[in-house]
Structure 1
Amino acid sequence: MDPLNLVPYLPRAEWSLGPGDQGWLTMLGQVLKEYQTCTRRRSLLRARVMDFVTSTAILPLLLGCVGVCSLFKLLQWLRTRACVRNAVVVITGATSGLGRECARVFHAAGAKLVLCGRNAEALEELTRELAASRATKVQTHKPYTVTFDLTDPGAIVGAAAEILQCFGYVDVLINNAGISYRGTIVDTNLDVDRRVMETNYFGPVALTKALLPSMIRRRQGHVVAISSIQGKISVPFRSAYAASKHATQAFFDCLRAEVERHDIEVTVVSPGYIQTSLSLNAVTADGSKYGVMDETTAQGRSPSQVARDVLAAVGKKKKDVVLADVAPSLAVYLRTLAPRLFFSLMASRARKEWKPKRC
């Protein structure tokens, strides 16, 4: 609106247009016109930018970027599978859970498998299942099986020799076998702690040491340790399990540094909760079976997805992989950056979980 049009409505007794006010009103009108001009230019510029973004020139560029990213991921996937094709892969704990899914994934990728476990019948059943599968375009190989108990130190040396007899060498060793635990520290028998450590730590360490010299002689090999997010943070009522996984993390971190000069890769994979029978088979404070499917376990990641992530980690030669949701992943950093807050949260969790146990 022109400012001069406002004059008739102003109180004449208090103010009237004088001869010196005309210049001010003219200047005010020019300012308003400049403002309106700038507003129109800004709107025009915004419209032109939107037209450019949605023009036929930019859309092919965006589609091209998406295509390049998709092609890059496809090449990575093909490279991952090519890295394990015809490679000798040893998998412990292959009869169930993540180990069984790793067997399926690596077999489909064309690896030469040596499947290890305590149950010979379950291993043979898995072998027949893999031999009958045809859902792959690459050449597959009939797996070998080696039956032994990781908690028996005397059996590991002989098992390692039997593993080497299968193909003469080992390219990838996946230390997957493990056992979980539920209980309070004060009520747990020391024998239970030793049993968990024998399965989760001493067994994989002994097998790795038995196969490592052959890798060093060939200057080729890849050792994978399936740890846990609890190998980086400790959760109440999981003391024996968390301790064994912390020890696993530390051992294989040291191994990575020591064998780097021999061109041997070491990968530690730390998953969160996986939909397996780990909690069902967990041991309790007195050594008995827990026998309960935890809600967190039931809602965890599928073992097939984790197995594919393990395959990708091997193909990309990753050194340390965390496969957990946002909250556990953040807790790893919180433990280092804000330990007081982390300890407070764990104490609160312990109190919350302890109440039902006392009722």
Structure 2
Amino acid sequence: MGTLWQRLSTLTGKSFKTCLCLSPKHQWWIFRKTVQKGKLMDFTSTVIIPLLFGSVGIFALFRLLQWMRMRAYLQEAVVVITGATSGLGKECAKVFHAAGCKLVLCGRDSEKLQDMVQQLSTVTNHRKKTHKPHTVVFDLSDTKTVLNAAEEILKYLGHVDILINNAGISFRGTIVDTGLDVDKKVMETNYFGPIALTKALLPSMIKRRKGHIVAISSVQGKISIPFRSAYAASKHATQAFFDCLRAEVEQYDIDVTVVSPGYIQTNLSLNAVTADGSRYGVMDKNTAEGQTAAEVAQVVLSAVGQKKKEVLVAGLTPSLAVYLRNLCPRLFFTLMAERAKKERKAKAS
């Protein structure tokens, strides 16, 4: 029994005399628990910790291979970006240019496009070869110019590897006061323009059995909030079209990615059209407090490089709203009605 006491004293850190004063049953309980603890520590040190470090190593190796694959995929790729002179489009131009892509910058303003080319040309990357961007001027809301632009792109570069449909316009106003011509204007820019460009470039991708089409949609392509009817409708249509496209072109090895951002710090709300077609000219609080365009552009780059089918880039509240709309629509509708009341009250005051 003396051996047991000595062992008990060593394991528990208690004095030999203290251990002698304990009842035999208590001594044995402490001894068994201490031994079990020692076995657990041995198991942790010999199994759990090596397994943990091994898992971290495997994950790091996976991310490295993923990064190398993305780098190879983007290097020298011909990338067309619409709305490339401001906001998210401008930031996308920066990150894809830095990745070694051959850019085709599209927009309505020739001078702004040339300014963008100048900005990118001054940026050097010692690790990757960069290319001077090509520019194409056209208006997405005019489908004839869209088709001409597609012909120019293919004539100049021969093919398109990645098309990023980014350009768009927002809307603020009540449905009852909005003229149909405003709804059409928003749909022409946000929906018909991008699908016209996509359809014009798609046959060449199918012929090569290679291509990647990206649609910059919105959280409002999944949910609708009050006083954004025309914008939400155009983004819902965008989501549906590119979901269909993804399924149809999979047989040709063409990838389709839909990126749905929440609020981004851009001039989208400033340039939004109102019910009568005039410029909104107000920076919304949510927009001002949103993610930076540079942050979202990095997400777009990663999503394209990893060939993700869909990415939701939003904060907690918008993300929860998307799930709430599907899981508990009645509650979602109630919350949206309350939001409409608050916005009306705020405008009236």
Residue number among 103, 124, 132 corresponding to 1:134 in the alignment: 124
1:313 paired with 2:306, answer: no
Residue aligning to 2:239:
249
| SS of equivalent residue, structure 2 residue 85 | coil
Structure-to-structure mapping, 1:293-304, within 5 angstroms:
293-304=283-294
Residue aligning to 1:189:
179
| SS of equivalent residue, structure 1 residue 352 | helix
Q: Is the CA contact 2:124–2:130 (under 8 Å) kept in the aligned structure 1?
A: no
Residue number among 281, 285, 291 corresponding to 2:271 in the alignment: 281
Structure 2 portions without partners, runs of 5+? 1-22
Residue aligning to 2:28:
37
Q: Is the CA contact 1:173–1:222 (under 8 Å) kept in the aligned structure 2?
A: yes
Residue aligning to 2:40:
49
- CA deviation string 1:235-287 (max 9, x = no partner): 11111110000000011111112212222111111111111111111111121
Corresponding letter in the other structure for 1:282: A
| SS of equivalent residue, structure 1 residue 141 | coil
| SS of equivalent residue, structure 2 residue 280 | coil
Residue number among 84, 102, 117 corresponding to 1:112 in the alignment: 102
| SS of equivalent residue, structure 2 residue 105 | strand
Corresponding letter in the other structure for 1:111: C
1:340 paired with 2:337, answer: no
| SS of equivalent residue, structure 2 residue 163 | strand
Residue aligning to 1:351:
341
RMSD across aligned positions (CA): 2.1
Residue aligning to 2:5:
none
Q: Is the CA contact 1:108–1:136 (under 8 Å) kept in the aligned structure 2?
A: no
After superposing the two structures, state which structure 1 stretch, 37-46 or 307-316, moved more.
37-46
| SS of equivalent residue, structure 1 residue 344 | helix
- CA deviation string 1:285-325 (max 9, x = no partner): 12121112212112211212211211111122111111112
Corresponding letter in the other structure for 1:34: K
How many aligned residue pairs are there?
328
Residue number among 63, 71, 74 corresponding to 1:73 in the alignment: 63
Residue aligning to 2:3:
none
Matches of 2:347 and 2:273, distance apart in 1 = 17
Matches of 2:281 and 2:46, distance apart in 1 = 61
Residue number among 130, 133, 139 corresponding to 1:149 in the alignment: 139
Give the alignment's TM-score, normalised by structure 1: 0.85
State the Cα distance separating 1:117 from its structure 2 match. Answer: 0.3
Q: Which has the larger radius of gyration?
A: 1
After superposing the two structures, state which structure 1 stretch, 252-261 or 192-201, moved more.
252-261
Give the alignment's TM-score, normalised by structure 2: 0.88
Q: Is the CA contact 1:88–1:170 (under 8 Å) kept in the aligned structure 2?
A: yes
State the Cα distance separating 1:38 from its structure 2 match. Answer: 2.4
Residue aligning to 2:217:
227
Matches of 1:196 and 1:47, distance apart in 2 = 69
Q: What is the percent sequence identity of the aligned residues?
A: 67
Q: 1:120 to 1:67 in 2, by over 3 A?
A: same
Q: Is the CA contact 2:105–2:113 (under 8 Å) kept in the aligned structure 1?
A: yes
Matches of 1:39 and 1:340, distance apart in 2 = 58
Q: 1:47 to 1:279 in 2, by over 3 A?
A: farther
Residue aligning to 1:89:
79
